Amino acid sequence: MPASRETPEQFRQVIDINLNGSYWMAQACGKVMRPGSSIINISSVLGLKPAGLPQAAYAASKAGLIGLTRDLAQQWTGRKGIRVNAIAPGFFESEMSGQYQPGYLEAMSTRILTGQPGDPRHLAATLVWLASDAASYVTGQTIVVDGGVTLT
């Protein structure tokens, strides 16, 4: 929604779900997780770079989630042994992408350097790696899974 038409309530609702919800869930998990545990937040490439869509609230919430990820990692990795990272998916078919204007996803596909749309398996593989011991030296990072969209 264009920022000039978005109401304060609409903006707050997006922030409440995407940013505040992630914060409260991380806080609850951080109280009971054991050392060696991992929290993985789901941000978006829209938190890093605009994509021609009028989504100020969504972009702000996802950028805020990246900052939250870094701060929680700084607080909890050394003290509690809990790693905190995020992934930033690019454009994948989803419930949200069904709301885009007709032709938008096709137009975005020309910006995907790998030449293929995102597949949920790409995200799953990244999530499994971040949660595993193979990523035990990774914390406070946002891993972009976008086929190179943020490079264009």
User: Residue 71's closest CA among 143, 145, 139?
Assistant: 139
CA distance 76 to 85: 11
Beta strands per DSSP E along the chain = 38-42, 83-89, 142-145
**Rg of the chain, C-alpha, whole Å:** 16
Cβ neighbours for 24, distance < 8 A, ≥ 6 positions apart? none
Catalytic residues: 58
